[in-house]
Structure 1
Amino acid sequence: MKVGLLDSLGARRGRYWAAFLKELGVEVVQPALPAAEALALGQASLPNEPVQVQLVLGRVLELGRVDAVLVPQTPAVASDAWGEALTDLLPRRLSGLPPLIAIPDGGEALVTAAAELGQRFTGNPGRVRLALERVKPLAAEKREEMPPLSRGSRVTVAVIGPRALLADPDLSGGLRMALDALGLYGVFSSDLPASQVAARGERLENAARAPAGEKELFGALKLLDGKSAVRGVLLASPARDAAHRSTLNRLASMTHKPALVIDVDAGQTGWPELEAFRDRVTLGAPARPAGPEAGA
């Protein structure tokens, strides 16, 4: 059996899944194309969809003939069809894809999902138990630490966005370089301790009914917004992702610090509005949320 394993969507448990599959005797195939080439494949079929979806599709197409592809799960926000059911929607939009299997990217569900997947692939409970035992150290959660909130003489800004965007260097690399060029130090929400983010996410109004992705973004905002070192808030939405853009626009109204909502596309390196944002956070100008509505 040959199974593809994606490293897109900010995946954190690639080593665990690769080791587990190898212990099962499954041939593991991972993407190798440069991100630009994989994106071009995805964009050719889904030109108007969110950039992270295009990248996932390109990676799947790149793998060619495989028996299945494991795709990391991502928490959805409101009205987020792709976040809720990416592995179901992609085969509906494009015929001929191999079976896509959503896998948890950590947490308590990780081992349970691995056990079910191992049984599905091998039908051998003994082999699955042995494989789980051998990769058990890789399932342990790493020690969580807050990233530094200051760096040299740079002005610190919080960068809030979905992990699928910010934790993927192929998608967020241009934004990191742009902030650096402007003398800003960005503390990215994807680098925050997950447990602290989750705890603050539960403070969201109607948290019990709120989508997991919204609680995660809200928790990250609240974790950084109260830090005195953080002078402004940059909210980054994947390009062509209306659901995340809407959620981040709402979050921008929940901070009293200078805030700006931007779209981030693959390969993008410049955002003209960032210079004005830099001036606001460095000069202490009055803060107001800046999204589509702000300029209306």
Structure 2
Amino acid sequence: KAAFRAAARAAGVKFKERRAFDTLFNGFSVEVDTANRAKLLRLKGVKAMYPVQIIERPAVAQAGDSAPDLAFALSLTGADIAQNQLGLSGAGVKVGIIDTGIDIDHPAFGGSGTPGTTPFPSARVIAGYDLVGDNYNAGGTPEQQIPVPDENPDDCGGHGTHVAGIVGADGGGLKGVAPGVTFGAYRVFGCAGSSSSDVIVEALERAYADGMQVINQSLGAARQWPQYPTAQASSRLTAKGVVMVASTGNNGPLGSSPDGLWAAGAPGTGSKVIATASFDNAQRSFTVNGTP
């Protein structure tokens, strides 16, 4: 990186460095105008350049939304058999959640149930980091686009807590698929608004450094290339033996994807990433010839 910076200065290339990456690939994210972008691409050692993508905040279910049948949620995937017949709980497995954070006070994760009273790290949320701060919004005002990181990845949005609950809730009347796992919470969203793909890459590097064996990203962008940085970083993690899970993306059916209708999005396009589309177990009743 020092050689790159020196070459850029010598060539008179002007840019603002945002983030530097060392673990999953050797590179930077930068802010640069069109003229200097062309100069950057010509510098020796620059292999490729990709746009930093805005990552929209995952939606949280609202009252009135159609609800799945929670009584059969575990049996839908066979998790009940794994728990009750095979005695598997996920104990000893570390799961990284890259999302809005995790509510460490929630009883489902061993919390006290009273906001602000459970210290971090906790018995279940053993690692993590808030990469952005409460007021961050990648698509907001210039002030909102400035991240203010801190050590506590507590959730103020709800989506990351919901995802972690599906994975491993155990308490408060809830049980997830693997109630014995411990978590790393990597908060990449503020309390409102969007994030960006370079923040996601940094979160992946942190999760790997913390020893996460499974990393979940219930997020994505309308970039179907497996070479896109979030997909590339995820591919390198699967090559290192990390189980990577990501959403396939919701952009294709809306026609909003720049890469084509029905296109899957990064990071779900990474090699050997478990890319999951949306589905539910809501039951519907139909009547045929008067018989339900």
TM-score by length of 2: 0.29
> In proportion to residue count, which structure has more helix?
1
TM-score by length of 1: 0.28
